Each structure stands twice: as C-alpha cells, then as structure tokens.
Amino acid sequence: MARHLIRTARQFYVAEPFDVDLRETVCALDSTTIDLCLVLLHWAPFRSKTAIRLHTLIDLRRNIPSLIHISDGKLRLDPAAAILSKQLEPAQAA
C-alpha cells in the first residue's frame, strides 16, 4: 500500500520546477530512532532499551519519500543506505 501511494504521489510532482538544474534524481537519507517498550518488544534491541529505526530515502525534487526501511534500533546508516540503494527502481538509481 505504501509503495502504491509513493508512486502515485511522485506522478503529481513530475513537472514541478526545481531550483537547481539537475539531470538525475537527488535523494536525502534520514534515519530516525523510535523508542519502544522493552517488555513488549524484546526483539528490537537498542543499547539498554528497545527501539526501531526508520530509514527514509527522500526524493528532494518532489519532497516525498521514495523508500522506507524499518529495522531494529542497531542498524547503522551505512548498511541502511546499501539496503535502500538495492531497492531503488532503475529510473531512480540512474
């Protein structure tokens, strides 16, 4: 469902002007840690507590998420970037 919504939203912004003339898609990667209840969610360890990490690849031209990956709280930004780059569609990766 989320992928469908992202694809639909991207179509609305195809013709939007961008302040910088770029031939390729430019993305930013955000990694947000979300604390959880240790008693209920012991499968998501993070230091001395429980957390998940939400990694979001944002298309800067359209200002919407391109991909989202949810992991346990220990996954660092570099491995998350590798995971997300493998999931990019050919048109986005070029």
Q: Mean pLDDT: which of 6-15, 29-38, 44-53 is highest?
A: 29-38
Residue 58's closest CA among 48, 69, 47? Answer: 69
**Is a pLDDT exceeding 80 seen at residue 29?**
yes
Give one DSSP letter per residue of the chain, joined into a string: -HHHHHHHHHHHTTT---SS--SS--EEEEEEEEEE-TTT-TTSEETTEEEEEEEEEEETTTTEEEEEEEEETT--HHHHHHHHHHHS-HHHH-
Please tell me the distance from the alpha carbon of residue 76 to that of residue 5, in angstroms, as a whole number: 27
Q: Assess if residue 20 is contained within a domain.
A: no
Provide the domain limits for residue 36: 2-15+26-93
Q: Assess if residue 68 is contained within a domain.
A: yes
For the question of whether the overall pTM of this predicted structure is more than 0.75, the answer is no
Band (14; pLDDT cuts 50, 70, 90): low
> Given this model, what pLDDT does residue 93 score?
47
Give the count of domains, the chain.
1
pLDDT digits (tens, 9 = 90+) for 49-92: 788 888 988 888 777 888 888 888 888 888 888 888 887 765 45
